[in-house]
Structure 1
Amino acid sequence: MASRRKLKKDIDFLTFEVISDCYNYIYLHPGNEEKVIDIIKETVANRNKLVARVNHPDGKDNAKLVKAHYKAVFKELIDNTDASFTKLSELIKA
């Protein structure tokens, strides 16, 4: 990871992409608002958790531990985003 700032921007970008797609779905398909709002709430909670983890890395003295920590945060970001898009995709198919 290049920097914490870039990682935070990536977290915000992917989170807002999920939220944007959720609101587009609500606009185009009224009636499933509760399920989509749950996806949005889960996405925002994951965003807040990831930003907190970025701000407080494990093992500040050891560079390898810090690098591993940020890689784990980035992997979790990708996994959470994929899960959110999958849930939204399942709603679209239904």
Structure 2
Amino acid sequence: MKRQPDRTGSLAGVGEALGQSEVFLGFQERLSRVAQINRPVLLIGERGTGKELAAARLHFLSNRWQEPLVALNCSALTPSLMESELFGHEKGAFTG
């Protein structure tokens, strides 16, 4: 028997709203709209601005919420590895 994940609980830990300013609430609304689009999303911003919280909220609100969420720190990758991680590569493209 396959266990179904529970989405009825709190959003705590997955981007629960931490502010009530007009700008912040507008951002939360945009996240909700973007979550309905079945496309990859790249979040950029300064360190400590909540990119991972935003990614978790996007994932939770998306149709793929039951699938794993993979967070990737692109600054830790070389340009060639980043391209491969983001866009994939053909079998045999790397040697070694």
Alignment TM-score, normalising by the size of structure 2: 0.28
Greater share of residues in helix: 1
- Structure of larger gyration radius: 2
- Greater relative CO (CA pairs within 8 A, separation 6+): 1
